[in-house]
Amino acid sequence: MVSLAAATAAVVALVTPTHAVGPIGEPGGTLAMPLHDAVQVLPVAEEERAGYQRTSFKHWVDADRDGCSTRNEVLKAEAFLTPEQAAGCKLSGGEWYSPYDNVYIGAPGGLDIDHLVPLAEAWDSGAFAWAAKEREDYANDLGDDRSLIAVSARSNRSKADQDPAQWLPPHEAYRCQYLTDWVATKMRWQLAVDEVERDILDEGTADCPNVPVKITFAR
């Protein structure tokens, strides 16, 4: 399998030589390339589910030790009506929009925090080889607002651990954004795609705006 770093570097040299900053595929390196090119540089590999356990990805942690877990940090960041915060970072009230199914939710308990690329999918796509700390960082990624998203519990549980070949948001107007963010997250974490997933991404984004996909590599 050709690494994402190598594949991306080759395409960057052809399409966006002025938009890469820092080492490609190394933490902190940044990149911007058109969506359709980004799909093409994702490395293709068979998935590997053997050994997967959800507990291999420690979450939700309080990385900055401010008393709020990753879940609550996402809820606070994505609320368009700010919830009240009590001791222990207990949230109440507030209002959120769930783009997966185009619904508004008025209580934190009605929301799940979705890993846009599910934990099992990340494992299948390369995280099986990561150290435990890398998996923890992935599961609690607040460094890119595309990685974690507050959505209705119903839509998140409908999605489960499926990739875009198996599940797309029922709200069709959001699908281009979803696929773009999926590509961005896979690139950020240097995760592979399987052949069916790659085909679906290629077909699904064909009619989407060919917007720049901006990445800051996490690993």
CB of 164 closer than 8 Å to CB of 179: yes
Q: Give backbone dihedrals phi and psi of 126, rounded to 5 degrees, phi first.
A: 145, -25
The domain containing residue 29 runs over which residues?
Answer: 4-216
CA 213/CA 8 separation, integer angstroms = 12
Residues in the chain: 219
Model pLDDT, residue 170: 98
Angle at 75 between CA 38 and CA 58, to 5 degrees: 70
Query: Is residue 60 reached through a cis peptide bond, with omega within 30 degrees of 0 on the bond before it?
Result: yes
Determine if the pTM surpasses 0.95: no
Percent of the chain clearing pLDDT 70 (strictly above):
89
CA 102/CA 8 separation, integer angstroms = 34
Q: Considering its fold, how many domains does the chain have in total?
A: 1
Cβ within 8 Å of residue 185, ≥6 positions away: 116, 117, 144, 146, 147, 191
CB of 9 closer than 8 Å to CB of 41: no
Model pLDDT, residue 6: 53
pLDDT tens-digit map of 140-186: 999 999 999 999 999 999 999 999 999 999 999 999 999 999 999 99
Nearest-Å Rg of the Cα atoms of the chain is: 17
CA 70/CA 54 separation, integer angstroms = 16
- Written as tens digits, the pLDDT of the chain (219 aa) is 445 555 545 444 433 333 443 445 678 899 999 999 999 999 999 999 999 999 999 999 999 999 999 999 999 999 999 999 999 999 999 999 999 999 999 999 999 999 999 999 999 999 999 999 999 999 999 999 999 999 999 999 999 999 999 999 999 999 999 999 999 999 999 999 999 999 999 999 999 999 999 999 998
H/E segment holding residue 42: none
**DSSP letter for each residue of 177-210:** HHHHHHHHHHHHTT--B-HHHHHHHHHHHTTS--
